[in-house]
Amino acid sequence: MGPDEELYGLRIAMNAGRKAGSVYPILARLEEAGWVESFWEREERGERGPRRRFYQFSADGLAAARALLIERRGTVRQRTGRSAPARSPSPVTELLLSGWVAR
């Protein structure tokens, strides 16, 4: 997934391995907290049907997500006693890093 690909609720849910129904409220709360911003898709899709709602990190959310990832890597390192991360990031982490955090 490239950094230019935009993320909508269903895709985030699929990549997170969560039910879409549980992801929408989480996104709403993150949005309310100012960590995530959302916007309607720009292309003229409205004529063909409903528009998608895309999500991306705000500046605060971006910093928090990065801190969380660093913290998580540190925790993994402490658990394993190794200097390198013991496991590769999950698909959603990859997604967040490439699709959201890299913005």
Partner 1 sequence: MTGGMLTFLLFAVLIPLAVNEAGDLLPSLARYLLRWGARRIGPAGQAERYEEEWLADLESVPGKLTKLAHACGVVIRSVPRLRAQFRPRPRGGPLSRILPGRMMDRIGKQLAETQEIGATLQHVAEMLVPQFADHCCIDLLQGDVLIRRVQQNAGGWTPPAGTWAQVGEPIHFPVGHFCQQAMTRLDTILVTDLAETDIPAPSARSEATAHEVGLTSVISAPLYARGVLLGVIAVARSRLTNRTQRNYTSADRDFIDAVGRRVAIAINDAMTLQGEHQTALASSNPRPRRLLQVLLA
Total residues interacting with partner 1, rule: CB under 8 A: 42
Strand pairing class (36-40; 7-8): unpaired
Tokens representing residue 57 in the block: 């990190």
CA–CA separation, 41 vs 48, rounded Å?
Answer: 13
**Among candidate residues 89, 32, 19, the one with its CA nearest the CA of residue 61:** 32
Site for partner 1 in 32-51 (CB under 8 A): 32-35, 41, 45, 49-51
Q: Which is nearer to partner 1, 40 or 80 (CB)?
A: 40
Beta carbons of 96 and 7 less than 8 angstroms apart:
no
With H, G, I as helix, E, B as strand and everything else as coil, classify residue 45: coil
Over the window 3 to 22, marking each residue x when it contacts partner 1 by CB under 8 A and - when it does not, the resulting string is -----xxxxx---xxxxxxx
Residue 101 sits in the site that holds partner 1 (CB under 8 A)? no
Q: Which residues bind partner 1 (CB under 8 A)?
A: 8-12, 16-26, 28-30, 32-35, 41, 45, 49-53, 60-61, 63-65, 68-69, 72, 90, 92-93, 96
